[in-house]
Amino acid sequence: MALSTQSTTGHGQAAAPRRTDRGVIGAAAIVVFGTAGYFVFPDNLALLTHIISTMLLVLAIDLVTGYCGVATLGHAALFGAGAYGAGIAAAHFGITEPLTMTLVGVICGSIAGLISGIVVLRAHGLAQLVLSIAVIHLFQEAANKASAWTGGSDGLSGIMPDAVFGRFEFDLFGQTAYVYGVALLLVTFVLLRILVRSPFGMLARGVKEDPVRLAAMGASVQSVMIRMYIISGAVAGLGGALSAISTQVVGLDSLSFTLSAETLVMLVLGGTGSLYGAMVGTVVFMFFEDTVSAANPFHWLTIVGALLIAVVLFAPKGLYGTAAAFFERRSRAGKGRDGA
Amino acid sequence: MNTLFEVSNLKKNFGALAVTNNVSIGMAAGDRLALIGPNGAGKTTFVNLVTGHIKPDSGRVTLSGEDVTGMRPAARVQRGLIRSFQVTRLFPDMTPEEHVALAILQRDGKAGRMSGHYSAKPAVMKEVRETLSILGLIELSHLKVREIAYGQQRLLEIALAMALKPKVLLLDEPAAGVPQLETTRIERALDQLPKDLAILMIDHDMDLVFRFATRVVVLAAGTVIFDGSPQAVTKDQRVREAYLGSYANAGSAA
Amino acid sequence: MKRFVLAVAVAALAAGVAHADTIKVGVVGPFSGPFALQGKNFKAGIDAFFALNGKKVGDHDIEVVYRDVPTANPAQSKSLAQELIVREKVQYLAGFYFTPDAMAATPLLQQGNVPMVVMNAATSAIVTSSPYVVRTSFTTWQTASPIAKVAKDAGVAKAITLVSDYGPGVDAETAFKTAFEKEGGSVVESIRMPLSTNDFAPMMQRVKDSGAQALFVFLPSGPPTLAFVKAYNENGLKAAGIKFLATGDLTQESDLPALGEAGLGLTTTFHYAVSHDSPENKAFVAAAEKAIGNPAELSFPAVGAFDGMYVISKMIEATNGKQDAKNAVEAVKGLSWTSPRGPVSIDPDSRHITQNIYLREVAKDAGGKYYNKEIQTFEKQGDPGLAALKK
Amino acid sequence: MQTVLSIAVDALAYGMVLFIISIGLSVTMGLMRVINLAHGAFAMIGGYFASYAARDLGLGYGVGVLAAIVGTVIIAIPVERFLYRRIYGQPELTQVLMTIGITFCVIGIANFAFGPTLKTIPLPQMLQGSVDLGFRTIATHRLFSIVCGLVVAGALWFLIERTAFGTRLRATVDNAAMAASLGVRTQVVYAVSFAVAIGLAALGGVLGAELLPVEPYYALRYMVTFLVVVSVGGAGSIPGALIACLLLGAIDTTGRYFAPEYGEFFFYLAVIVIVTLFPRGLAGRFR
């Protein structure tokens, strides 16, 4: 008995740092790819920034869908709330300091997260999906009606953010916006990485895998999900704020069912339940879409559809999920041989 | 006798069928009670009513003098009313270590923390290892639950219940599906639980029941028909009728 | 410091392009999705221009780079416009079917030293958002105001408006109301319908109950048009003699075959009909039909694009291929020419197109083809929307 | 009073169109447990077939309807065999990804093959024009839709509740493994149900075309409406779907009459209330 305890101690110690390493690798990857993007595509920073703000929304969906098992086709509500929050702060209240605008976006996103969480969490499965659809339509219609504040379907313009730290201006070449976006993504990734490994992250996974068991441990399933929805709202709101700051305009599409559905597709494409899956899915989908639609703006939809079908057929756990499972199997097989 | 846990006049109908009919059971600290009865007697329904997974039509459940009848299951758990499930309910993609750690953190009110990893907390890790060792699961600490045998999953259910430090523990057929060799582990684990803990166990394994229980309650057709010592139960005429009768009925139906 | 670097960069960019013999024009429009037909018309108009005038202006080749924004999406539009300017190094931005998409890109123009030629987006305010915007399409105010006069002349005193509840719809409602009240009529009710409306029967009931003699309607092109016109006929409004008034968006040529008999007799005012009788238009239609493939798909965005390319070619001529947005725009102020739609000119103050607006009626020609038959001309119409905006 | 009656008629007509066009989806989602976002795509394919047969070939409305159903089912057979069979029993999100992919492809192909314009299906003489109900007129084809809706509901109910096939289908839905062990060829049951669902989609696409005209983007444009109807009714329940369509039709129509500018709010608030009160739908079997 003593022996086995000892060996496990070793195991535990070995396992914990290994997981941390993966987090460090992720953060390092963001820095490397972020820097590479800056130098390899210096003329394409607007698209890259657009990808980053969408990626934040996809990460937000992953928090509730991948970690808590909530089915949602209405998550753009949180993103749009952040975008309009930051945009309205700048256009109507003269809050043009970018960090403050970002903060406003995060707060508005969290509030929208709380509201849509309260509605969406009242049902499961298909009914939940439909509730989320109703929520996004109500949000969009509300924004359309409040055109004095939001600009309605013409979009909210007149957002003129100041220079970051008074030095770096948001200009045509989009360098500032891009670097700002990468920085926000990095910070978010690190925080989320800590979150999903934390006890609360375990609770969330518990909600997804068996809510009855979790309740029998004394945890309140509803409270875990609501808290996760608020956090998810903060992340999505951050993405929205980044979008508002970098493009200096907010449209009703940021509160649309289309955006919700498209970002859910990106998440599933990459693989749910992993921060990497969310990021990989976004990058692959958006790059693919951009390339294909630039090559053939008239018929790219067919090719994107074929990609989605191919992923279901050949990578059912999503691109990242399937790759991760493959390497895990290989490394296990390798270990098995070592043991024998 | 100082009553720790009391169920009084609990009733539940599913349509016209009374599955739990006026059941009253009280337990004191240190009680080792076995709840037995033929199939369909309403034993699992009784557990579900007590833990709040099903709402009773009438009746009361009190714990340490506090009425918990209207509370959500989680609130009862926080007050020390813990159960295990007849059919294993675990998180298939988590490891046994994570299961037990989560239970410990939840018990200590630290599961809501949004930073830090349990493996960095020596006290938690120590308890995790002790609990898993008692049930012989230590070698499996880092496998996903979906990858371990059903019998071992049953043991993990017990480990979770232990980790939650219950005042009252309801075990719904803890040995069902566990190989004979492993049942001794369960018994050993139960022996190591604090003596002042009240345990109610449902099981069909009469040997296990007799080794474990100091008191036996027999449920038939939703009604308590016997409440007494293990020695007395085998001699009770109504109990014999209930069991034989149910088998006789089952026979004629088939 | 940063500004200086930027200025140098832009200057370098401009200098670099001046020597290049290929001038790029970036066209943003809906080339897929529910409005793909309109984007296809952009392309047909541009191709028709090249077919008739060649791809060269002086020594300079023109190259068009298309970018797809399927539905109104200002953020996407802006990042694509940015990409066109920075990466593709386009000298001109053009296209823009939706107002928000155009509005989103206007802040880039000054810094990028790029003029924008709006080929469709019809909200008056766009031209005010940057001095580098020129528009060759129309505004909702411009096309909606004359129909009010038509109504009044036909003896309508009470009208009801039904518009889709979004920017252009609200624009059309205000334009019609303003013009109609100026004529001395009264709008008894103004109904705004959700964009997702499929079944218009309940609204028809509202129209009947309102006691109006005519209805003015504005909808986004496509399926709602068909459902609306059918509801108008089937619910007995046509039979009851309630006049149908709309801008030409509703009877665009590509929707006419689908409307069929139901569309016959609908009267609309608009800046362009494919059937317009002039040699310029015959040449344009022949080229554009060839470009689009299926002649039935040709409609008004094509003429906006065609004239847009004409304006761009004049800008290139004036600047001799140098990237100089200010002078390019300056050069086309007051420019007048004969477009396929009739005589037009660019108003030097607003940089919006002054043009004839026609009253048309849907008719059927000898070959059984439905078309918009021009029956009245309102000459040299400016944009009343801008005047309303200034108030 | 007249107004109330009039709205009621409109609501009934609209509700029945919704029913015809969504009931196929209710079958796939409730009985086969596939979240089939490509339902609208199949309805659209049906519409194109009918339009081609009836308008371009001039074969008449009846032939058009038949061509739509047969043609769409023929197209659907390989799609079921090679794509849908891979997602039966898979997680919902996988099904969403696959069926959205199929929808995108169908839209792209339709756009390429038929162009982006609206396609109509000419009605026969007897369905054109309006009928005078005394207090108002109503389009004849709307009455026809109401009748068709009732016939479809009755026929489906009969098929599922009263025939041997229905018994096998219900057994398969309740427990596929058990049904298989009792000798039900579940693969065949699934394939036939899928064909029925697709046939219904095509029929709905044709009959609903007066209200929801056929064009490439059809497949996505009405997806949300179909999903909402099915979930409010309860996937897999024919009476549920019928009640849901009538109820939603009534809410939508009334809202649009009295306060069109808030029509969207009414509709979705009602959906939230209904779904919260009846999470399994008004008469659901889903899980």
Q: pLDDT tens-digit profile of D55-85?
A: 889 888 999 999 999 999 999 999 998 999 8
Residues of chain C found within 8 Å of residue D114, distances taken between Cβ atoms:
none
Nearest residue to B23 (alpha-carbon basis) of B51, B52, B59, B64? B59
Q: What is the 3-state secondary structure (H, E, C) of B170-216?
A: EEECCCCCCCHHHHHHHHHHHHCCCCCCEEEEECCCHHHHHHHCCEE
Is D286 a domain residue?
no
Nearest to D96 among A138, A268, A309 (CB): A268
Q: Is the pLDDT of residue D284 over 60?
A: no
pLDDT given for residue A20 in this prediction: 52
Measured CA to CA, the distance from residue D179 to residue D155 in angstroms comes to 24
Chain D's closest residue to A121, CA to CA, is: D276
- Considering only CB atoms, A153 lies closest to which of C2, C3, C72, namely C72
More confident residue, D159 or B204: D159
pLDDT at B215: 92
Instruction: Kindly tell me whether chain B and chain D come into contact, counting contact as 3+ Cβ pairs under 8 Å.
Output: no
Number of structural domains chain B divides into: 1
pLDDT band at D187 (very low <50, low <70, confident <90, very high): confident
- In three-state form (DSSP H/G/I as H, E/B as E, the rest C), the secondary structure along chain D is CHHHHHHHHHHHHHHHHHHHHHHHHHHHHHHCCCCCCCHHHHHHHHHHHHHHHHHHCCCCHHHHHHHHHHHHHHHHHHHHHHCHHHCCCCCHHHHHHHHHHHHHHHHHHHHHHHCCCCECCCCCHHHCCEEECCCCEEEHHHHHHHHHHHHHHHHHHHHHHHCHHHHHHHHHHHCHHHHHHCCCCHHHHHHHHHHHHHHHHHHHHHHHHHCCCECCCHHHHCHHHHHHHHHHHCCCCHHHHHHHHHHHHHHHHHHHHHCHHHHHHHHHHHHHHHHHHCCCCCCCCCC
Nearest to A205 by CA among B124, B85, B95: B95
**Residue A18: predicted pLDDT:** 47
| A-to-B residue pairs, Cβ atoms closer than 8 angstroms | 111
**What are the residues whose beta carbons fall under 8 Å from the beta carbon of A18, sequence distance 6 or more?**
none
pLDDT for the residue numbered A12: 37
pLDDT recorded at residue B182: 80
Domain ranges of chain A: 20-256
Which residue numbers in chain C have pLDDT < 70? 1-20, 390-391
Within-domain flag for B79: yes
Predicted local distance difference test score (pLDDT) of residue C132: 96
Best CA proximity match to C342, nearest among C354, C351, C332, C352 = C354
Q: How far is CA A186 from CA A24, A52, A193, D244, in A?
A: 11, 10, 10, 47
| pLDDT-based confidence at residue D184 (cuts at 50, 70, 90) | confident
Are A184 and A86 in contact by the 8 Å Cβ rule? The answer is no
Give the residues across from C164 on adjacent strands.
Answer: C193
Alpha carbons C35 and D220: distance in angstroms, whole number: 13
Main-chain dihedrals φ then ψ at residue C357, nearest 5 degrees: -110, 135
Chain D contact for C155, CB < 8 A? no
Residue in chain D closest to A134 (alpha carbons) equals D268
Flag whether B105 is in a domain. Answer: no
Number of Cβ within 10 Å of residue A310's Cβ equals 11
CATH number at residue D265: 1.10.3470
Q: At which residue do the structure tokens 């953020």 appear?
A: C75
Quick one: pLDDT band at residue B244, thresholds 50, 70, 90? Answer: low
Q: Cα(C80)–Cα(A50) distance, rounded to whole angstroms?
A: 10
In terms of C-beta density within 10 A (0-12 exposed, 13-18 middle, 19 or more buried), how is residue D268 classed? buried
D and A: touch, per 3+ CB pairs < 8 A? yes
Q: Which residue in C191, C223, C297 is closest to D260 by CB distance? A: C191
Q: Do A130 and D271 touch (CB under 8 A)?
A: yes
**Residue for token pair 């709008």:** C187
Burial (0-12, 13-18, 19+ Cβ within 10 Å), D51:
buried
> Cα–Cα distance between D125 and A266 in angstroms, integer?
49
CB < 8 Å to A127, chain D: 231, 275, 279-281
Q: Identify whether B95 is part of a domain.
A: no
Ranges of CATH 3.40.50.2300 domains, chain C: 2-138+277-351, 141-270+357-382
**Backbone φ and ψ of B81, nearest 5°:** -100, 100
> D36-50: per-residue pLDDT in tens?
999 999 999 999 999
A297 in contact with chain C, both atoms CB, cutoff 8 A: yes
Does residue A84 contact residue A253 with C-beta atoms inside 8 Å? Answer: no
* Chain C residues whose beta carbon lies within 8 Å of the beta carbon of residue A173: 6, 9, 86
Subunit contact D105:A272, Cβ cutoff 8 A = no
CA distance to partner chain A, nearest, from residue C372 (Å): 28
Long-range Cβ contact pairs of D188-194 (< 8 A, separation 24 or more): D189/D165, D190/D32, D190/D85, D190/D88, D191/D77, D191/D80, D191/D81, D192/D165, D193/D27, D193/D28, D193/D31, D193/D32, D193/D169, D194/D28, D194/D32, D194/D76, D194/D80, D194/D84
Q: Which of C99, C108, C35 has the alpha carbon at shortest distance from C78?
A: C108
Query: In whole angstroms, what is the distance from residue B96 CA to residue D137 CA?
Result: 70
- Give a yes or no: residue B135 inside a domain: no
Chains C and B touch, using 3 or more CB pairs below 8 Å: no
Enclosing domain of residue B85: 3-89+165-253
Q: Let me know if residue D287 belongs to a domain.
A: no
A153, A157, A250 ranked by CB distance to C166: nearest:
A153
Q: Which of B117, B118, B188, B192 to mutate to test the interface with A (most CBs of A within 10 A)?
A: B117
Quote the strand ranges of C184-317, DSSP E.
Answer: 186-193, 214-218, 243-247, 267-270
Chain A nearest C-alpha distance from D268 (Å): 5
- Top CATH class of C141-270+357-382 equals alpha beta
Tokens 């997602």 sit on residue: D87
Residue type, position D196, single letter: V
- Count of structural domains within chain D: 1
**In this model, does residue B12 exceed pLDDT 50?**
yes
Q: Containing domain of residue D240, as a range?
A: 2-277
Tell me how close the Cα of A229 comes to any Cα of chain C, in angstroms.
25
Cα–Cα dist C310/C137, whole Å: 12
Give the CATH fold of the C2-138+277-351 domain: Rossmann fold (3.40.50)
C198 → closest Cβ in D120, D211, D261: D211
Test the A interface: residue of D251, D264, D285, D286 with most A CBs within 10 Å: D264
Question: Does B43 have pLDDT greater than 90?
Answer: no
Distance CA(D47)–CA(A236), nearest Å, equals 39
pTM of the model: 0.90
Question: What pLDDT sits at residue A340?
Answer: 37
- Residue written as token pair 């043609």: D71
CA distance A34 to A283: 12
Each residue's pLDDT, cut to its tens digit, for chain A (340 residues) gives 333 333 333 333 334 444 556 778 889 999 999 999 999 888 888 889 999 999 999 999 999 999 999 989 999 999 999 999 999 999 999 999 999 999 999 999 999 999 999 999 998 888 899 999 999 999 999 999 998 999 888 889 888 899 888 888 888 778 899 999 999 999 999 999 999 999 999 999 999 999 999 999 999 999 999 999 999 999 999 999 999 999 888 999 999 999 999 999 999 999 999 999 999 999 999 999 888 887 877 778 889 899 999 999 998 889 998 998 888 888 777 655 444 3
pLDDT digit string, tens, across residues A70-96:
989 999 999 999 999 999 999 999 999
Question: How far does C258 lie from chain D, in Å, by closest CA?
Answer: 5
Q: What tokens were used for C5?
A: 């670097």
Q: Which residues of B226-250 are buried (b: 16+ CB within 10 A; e: fewer)?
A: bbeebeebeeeeebeebbeebeeee
- CB-CB: which of A19, A197, A219 is closest to B106? A219
Strand segments, DSSP code E, in chain B are 3-14, 17-28, 32-36, 58-63, 66-67, 81-83, 168-172, 198-202, 215-220, 223-228
Taking a contact as any Cβ pair under 8 Å apart, which residues of chain A between 187 and 206 contact chain C? Answer: none
Cα A18 to Cα B203: distance, rounded to the nearest angstrom = 43
CA distance A7 to C113: 69
**B103 domain-assigned:** no
| Burial class (CB within 10 angstroms; exposed 0-12, middle 13-18, buried 19+) of C158 | middle
The 8-class DSSP code of residue B147 comes to: G
Q: Which of A125, C197, A117, C199 is nearest to D231 (CA)?
A: A125
pLDDT at B247: 52
Give the angle subtended at the CA of C124 by the CAs of C121 and C129, to the nearest 5°. 90
Token readout for C381 is 């119409």
Strand partners, C336: C345
**Cβ contact (<8 Å) for D108 and A309?**
no
